[in-house]
């Protein structure tokens, strides 16, 4: 075994994988960072592999922390000073060494001055909602009711979702299955990894549930369904983006034989869009021809 020979690496690039995985020694990490700061291509590779490593992190099973931990943490904020903000490399810098304070206030007006935290702040009061969708969601809901009568049935179904989930659609059964493509899975992973991912889950008439996940940032959404019934030959599920001007086809899909079926919608989700799914003849339709099995107001 010829280990412990890592001192002889000439090319720091060889360490990029180990670095991204935190598998280097501290000295090597430092050496690598120095090399990366001097090389654009090495820095790009390092950042991409870091991002890749964080996908491995996202795949770990989440564990809900105790309530106590949150309270303790919030209590500690008041006594934990923050670092001064540095000017970013991309910011237009007129002075080469900007005064730290002059750069601490970008577009956002700080509610509390950086590094000077009010000691009497009451952390227990902080109880932010998991997803802040209130006003936007209400706006979106209102929009539903201004739409053509033709989609009122769908609107009602969507409205039911806002009050805790409603039963939509009709029972389906049959046979035939397919597996989601890698491209679809890739899109789904991107949506799941987005910073603003939201979701809404509704029960399906067949007994399963469907979840629509979306990222307004990416303008993408996906439908995921557990226990989605397989359809008879010649029928497919078709997804739609629905807005006030109508429904735009967003791709067809079939149910997975078992487990979770999913479909990443084609096209771009715009603000105020709803996501719907209908059953259509194989190949899909240019416009929906049946009642939706689900409609979720997104964005």
Partner 1 sequence: MLSLVTSHRGPTDTESAESTAAALESLLEQVAAGDQQAFGELYDRTASRVLGLVKRVLVDHAQSEEVTQEIFLEIWRTAPKFEAMRGSAMSWILTMTHRRAVDRVRSSQSGHDRDERIGIRDIEPAYDHVAESVEIRIEHERVKRAMAQLTDFQREAISLAYYGGYSHTEIAGILAIPVGTVKTRLRDGMIRLRDALGVAS
Binding to partner 1 in span 192-211, by CB under 8 A? 192-199, 211
Pick one of 36, 202, 213, 239: the residue that binds partner 1 (CB under 8 A): 213
Residue with tokens 């997975």: 256
DSSP conformation class of 59: T
Pick one of 50, 156, 162, 227: the residue that binds partner 1 (CB under 8 A): 50
Of 31-39, 158-166, 227-235, 236-244, which part binds partner 1 (CB under 8 A)? 236-244
Cα 184 from Cα 266, distance rounded (Å): 10
237 interacts with partner 1 by CB under 8 A: no
Q: How far is CA 244 from CA 26, 213, 284, 291, in A?
A: 57, 21, 21, 17
Cα 87 from Cα 297, distance rounded (Å): 40
CB of 175 vs partner 1, minimal distance in Å: 23
Show the binding pattern over residues 6-45: x = contacts partner 1 (CB under 8 A), - = does not.
x--x---xxxxxx-xxxxxx------------------xx
Cα 116 from Cα 112, distance rounded (Å): 7
Compare residues 175 and 196 and give the one whose CB is closer to partner 1: 196
| Three-state SS annotation for 181-239 | CHHHHHHHHHHHHCCCCEEEEEEECCCCEEEEEEECCCCEEEEEEECCCCCCCCEEEEE
Cα 276 from Cα 223, distance rounded (Å): 9
CB of 39 vs partner 1, minimal distance in Å: 14
CB of 101 vs partner 1, minimal distance in Å: 12
Of 30-38, 111-119, 166-174, 229-237, which part binds partner 1 (CB under 8 A)? 111-119
Q: Residues 6 or more apart from 256 whose CB is under 8 A from it?
A: 177, 178, 179, 180, 228, 262
Compare residues 39 and 211 and give the one whose CB is closer to partner 1: 211
Pick one of 226, 251, 266, 284: the residue that binds partner 1 (CB under 8 A): 226
Compare residues 7 and 96 and give the one whose CB is closer to partner 1: 7
Using CB under 8 A as the binding rule, the residues of this chain from 57 to 96 that contact partner 1 are: 57-66, 69-70, 72-74, 76-77, 80-86, 88-90
Compare residues 175 and 258 and give the one whose CB is closer to partner 1: 258
Cα 154 from Cα 169, distance rounded (Å): 10
CB of 261 vs partner 1, minimal distance in Å: 10
Compare residues 90 and 233 and give the one whose CB is closer to partner 1: 90
CB of 31 vs partner 1, minimal distance in Å: 13
In this structure, how many other beta carbons lie within 10 angstroms of the beta carbon of residue 179? 11
Angle (nearest 5°) at CA 162 between 146 and 223: 95
Pick one of 36, 42, 255, 269: the residue that binds partner 1 (CB under 8 A): 269
First to last CA, the chain: 57
* Contact yes or no for 212/165 (Cβ under 8 A): no
Show the binding pattern over residues 131-170: x = contacts partner 1 (CB under 8 A), - = does not.
xxx--x--xx-------x-xx-xx----------------
Using CB under 8 A as the binding rule, the residues of this chain from 272 to 291 that contact partner 1 are: 272, 276, 278, 286-291
């Amino acid at each position: 075994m010829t280990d412990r020979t890592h001192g002889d690496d000439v090319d720091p690039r060889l360490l990029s994988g180990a670095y991204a995985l935190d598998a280097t020694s501290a000295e090597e990490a430092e050496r690598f960072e120095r090399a990366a700061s001097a090389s654009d291509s090495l820095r790009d590779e390092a950042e991409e592999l870091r991002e890749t490593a964080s996908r491995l992190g996202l795949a770990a099973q989440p564990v809900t922390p105790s309530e106590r931990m949150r309270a303790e943490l919030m209590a500690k904020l008041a006594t934990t000073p923050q670092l001064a903000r540095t000017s970013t490399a991309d910011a237009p810098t007129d002075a080469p060494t900007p005064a730290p304070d002059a750069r601490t206030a970008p577009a956002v007006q700080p509610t509390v001055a950086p590094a000077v935290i009010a000691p009497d702040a009451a952390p227990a009061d902080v109880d932010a909602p998991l997803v802040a969708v209130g006003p936007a969601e209400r706006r979106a809901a209102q929009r539903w009711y201004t739409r053509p009568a033709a989609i009122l049935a769908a609107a009602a179904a969507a409205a039911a979702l806002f009050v805790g989930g409603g039963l939509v659609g009709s029972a389906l059964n049959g046979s035939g299955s397919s597996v989601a493509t890698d491209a679809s899975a890739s899109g789904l992973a991107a949506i799941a990894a987005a910073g603003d991912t939201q979701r809404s889950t509704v029960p399906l008439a067949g007994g399963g549930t469907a979840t629509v996940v979306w990222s307004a940032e990416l303008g993408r959404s996906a439908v995921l369904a557990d226990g989605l019934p397989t359809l008879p030959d010649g029928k497919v599920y078709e997804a739609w983006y629905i807005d006030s001007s109508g429904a735009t086809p967003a791709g067809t899909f079939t149910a997975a034989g078992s487990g979770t079926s999913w479909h990443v919608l084609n096209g771009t989700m715009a603000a105020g869009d709803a996501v719907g799914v209908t059953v259509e003849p194989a190949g899909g339709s240019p416009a929906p021809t049946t009642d939706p099995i689900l409609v979720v107001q997104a964005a």
